[in-house]
């Protein structure tokens, strides 16, 4: 993950190609872009140091030499004019632009009658490509992931009936698992779980729910458990499934929905600022546990302020 990459240092590719090699230069540039490499202001392209990235750059250097150019792959512990934190921030900003562009395309594709399967498949492939070079786990990843899941399940309306309301007793004393870097929907969902379902609940983080087979998954993309359903975010799903009738929770559900899905369904903008705060903390490297704790405190404050 990100911390391991930073401790291992960086990989720097320095190369030159003969004048007139325009096509070859474009080919190299496209590969570097696909690898998620960052162009330094001075010279060269940098990637976090890991085995996969080293193999990619070594192969690319070999290709450049076949183009009669020169290339070197260098392991660098640090740059005197680019501290680790600043360089990491540049990588996060680059991936944020990728995710934002994908989100715009997804919104456009799902307007009106919804997205065709071919469009959704293409956008999902693009999402996976971005994830592969998201070395520092951008906070926007989960946002776009939720948008994709919502688009895929758009035809499936929640349709929760009285008989579908969960028995809270079954979920007492459980561990709940969700993805790392919780944003507003997962933070609010954890708050809802602890306040209304199980005050003694504990939380774990994993990209694969199978790592915690006895835990209850929530907001896990493509997993069982509680997540986005139809046009509902995870918070709304939990509220309906557990029959939580508190009117203040209903208001928070609207706020979280608009902040998480960014579709202006309820015309609520109160959550946007909370979401930006969570994203800022995530970019500062706050641990998942601490990020969730802070997020739950924000939602509790919101709950107390709702009239």
Contact present, 204 and 163 (Cβ < 8 Å) = no
- 289 and 200 assigned to the same domain: yes
pLDDT at 2 over 90: no
- 167 and 294 assigned to the same domain: yes
- 224 and 192 assigned to the same domain: yes
pTM for this entry: 0.56
DSSP state of 169: G
Q: Which of 111, 133, 152 is the last residue of a domain?
A: 152
- 190 and 278 assigned to the same domain: yes
Average pLDDT, the chain: 86
pLDDT at 154: 56
Domain hosting 273: range is 162-305
- 60 and 113 assigned to the same domain: no
- 201 and 282 assigned to the same domain: yes
- 134 and 187 assigned to the same domain: no
Q: 149-179 pLDDT, tens per residue? A: 777 665 333 444 343 455 667 888 999 999 9
pLDDT at 117: 61
- 122 and 225 assigned to the same domain: no
Q: Angle at the Cα of 89 (from 203 to 227), degrees rounded to 5?
A: 30
Q: Which of 45, 76, 107 is the last residue of a domain?
A: 76
Where is average pLDDT lowest: 6-10, 264-268, 290-294?
Answer: 6-10
pLDDT at 253: 94
- 145 and 171 assigned to the same domain: no
| Token duo for residue 251 | 């208001």
Contact present, 95 and 139 (Cβ < 8 Å) = no
Count of the separate structural domains present in the chain: 3
| Token duo for residue 110 | 């799902």
């Amino acid at each position: 993950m990100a911390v391991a990459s930073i401790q291992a240092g960086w990989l720097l590719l320095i190369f030159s190609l003969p004048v007139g090699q325009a096509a070859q230069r474009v080919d190299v540039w496209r590969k570097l872009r696909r690898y998620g490499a960052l162009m330094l202001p001075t010279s060269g392209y940098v990637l976090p140091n890991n085995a996969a990235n080293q193999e990619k750059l070594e192969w690319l250097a070999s290709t450049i030499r076949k183009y009669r150019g020169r290339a070197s792959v260098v392991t660098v512990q640090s740059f005197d004019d680019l501290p680790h934190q600043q360089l990491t921030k540049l990588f996060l900003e680059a991936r944020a632009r990728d995710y934002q562009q994908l989100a715009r395309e997804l919104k456009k594709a799902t307007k009106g009658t919804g997205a065709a399967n071919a469009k959704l498949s293409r956008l999902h492939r693009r999402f996976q490509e971005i994830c592969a070079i998201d070395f520092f786990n951008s906070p926007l990843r989960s946002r776009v992931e939720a948008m994709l899941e919502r688009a895929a399940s758009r035809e499936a309306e929640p349709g929760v009936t009285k008989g579908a309301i969960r028995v809270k007793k079954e979920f007492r004393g459980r561990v709940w698992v969700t993805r790392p870097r919780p944003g507003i929907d997962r933070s609010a969902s954890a708050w809802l779980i602890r306040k209304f379902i199980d005050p003694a609940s504990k939380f774990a983080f994993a990209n694969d729910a199978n790592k915690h087979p006895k835990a209850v998954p929530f907001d896990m993309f493509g997993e069982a458990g509680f997540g986005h359903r139809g046009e509902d975010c995870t918070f709304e799903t939990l509220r309906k499934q557990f029959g939580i009738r508190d009117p203040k929770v209903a208001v928070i559900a609207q706020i979280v929905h608009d902040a998480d899905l960014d579709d202006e369904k309820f015309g609520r903008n109160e959550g946007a600022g909370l979401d930006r705060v969570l994203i800022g903390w995530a970019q500062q490297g706050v641990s998942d546990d601490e990020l969730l704790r802070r997020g739950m405190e924000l939602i509790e404050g919101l709950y107390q302020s709702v009239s």
